[in-house]
Amino acid sequence: MNIQNLYQLYSISSGIEINSKKVKKGSIFIALKGKNFDGNQFADEAISNGAILAIVDNKRSVFSKKKIVSVENTLHFLHELAMYHRYKLHHIPIIVITGSNGKTTTKELTVAILSKKYKKVHYTKNNFNNHIGIPLTILSMPLDTQISVMEIGANHEKEIEKMCSIINPDYGYITNFGKAHLEGFKSIEGIIRSKLELYDFLKKNKKVVFINGDDPIQLSNSTEMNRYIFSGIKKKKSDINVQYLWKKNSIKSYLSIQNIEIVSSLIGDYNLYNIASAISIGTYFKISLKKIKEAVEEYVPNNYRSQILTKNNVKIIIDCYNANPTSMIEALTFFNKIQGKKIVILGDMLELGLFSHNEHEKIISFIKKSNIHIAFLIGNIFFNTQETSYKIKKFMEKEFFVEWIKKYSIQKTDYILIKGSRRIALESIIDLI
């Protein structure tokens, strides 16, 4: 069966599924392989659970069920099917957002703003932003979609280039170039080259790029592109000017555009650019500032990203969906500005390779010089750092911290910041505070 025939079956199916246990009646199961699993082993189960077709790539497997089609490589087939679907829906504008930090927050704010004008906004759900999640996101795009916002995550070079070839975006934005996934990128230069793969695609295809005019890397690498610029500096030539406001003793974010003040529940001045970029995308698509203000002020962060929880008169800032050296320092720098007694609970930053030890030492050095009162550092990497201080307590594993807090509890404080990499899952300690 060729891709056209299989696409016809997909078009009458109830969707694509890669987990045999989650198969819906009438769906198509694609048997993907990973380090610790082989989806080919579950093709029969998928058919039994209601799939109308199972796509496999293991010729040595023996299948008892009919409705099984073998291809050379199921992941390549998934990509090809997604590209064909995008080709069929080429008229739907797609905005791509990538960057080291703030991708999901920017995406969610952009979706909230666009939804004030468009009734059918399609977007990346959960963390479906990699080589598997992106084609699945495209294949979930309904025929009546008016506009789509997709997120690209990457941990090595050429990944964004590949994902752009599948998505074929019409618009793009890079949030920033931070120290994330250094193990895969090898250097900050590798990170910059990787993110700029989005610019390469947009420039080649004469598409539009949204630019933070206060970021010299974005500005200098987009000079010959069709760009829409926002900036917080009035003297700079930009399409939209944003004022970033700082209000003493407030942990919310304040911006002003054309004398309209916008107050966001997102905490930290490091979120101001995320908010401003979403606003600029909204203005490009002719959404009124009144509607944009509504969308931003209605948006409440979740999924452990910049959430604020008040418990026993203590404001707990939960920002533990992920962490890397750039986002950690930004969060700590903002936290350091807040007046009052402050405690941080930090988890290891992962995927840093040879940079890991030095970057964790830098975090401790910052804490030592800060006005943060107590720091609890959790994880094997933090535990094995040399830097120490009277206000720092280290735990090799999260379970050891849990035992400690149950026994001693955290002393009275005004603010607590919780931040760490996703695998550390620090949200599990919130109920103990």
Q: Which positions make up the binding site for ATP?
A: 99-105
To which residue do tokens 């948006």 refer?
Answer: 299
Contacts of 127 (CB under 8 A, 6+ apart): 104, 133, 153
Q: Tell how strand 374-378 and strand 392-395 pair up.
A: parallel
> Cβ distance 100 to 180 under 8 Å?
yes
Residue 179 to residue 322: CA distance in whole angstroms: 13
What is the SS3 assignment for 392? strand
Q: Kindly report the number of other CB atoms within 10 A of residue 210's CB atom.
A: 24
**φ, ψ dihedrals at 334, nearest 5°:** -65, -45
Q: How far is CA 303 from the centre of its chain?
A: 11
Identify whether the C-beta of residue 167 lies closer than 8 Å to the C-beta of residue 202.
Answer: no
CA 186 to each of CA 79, 180, 183, 351, 414: distance values in angstroms, whole numbers, following the listed order: 27, 10, 6, 11, 39
Separation between Cα atoms, residue 221 and residue 383, nearest integer Å? 40
Binding residues: 99-105
Q: What is the DSSP letter of 348?
A: P
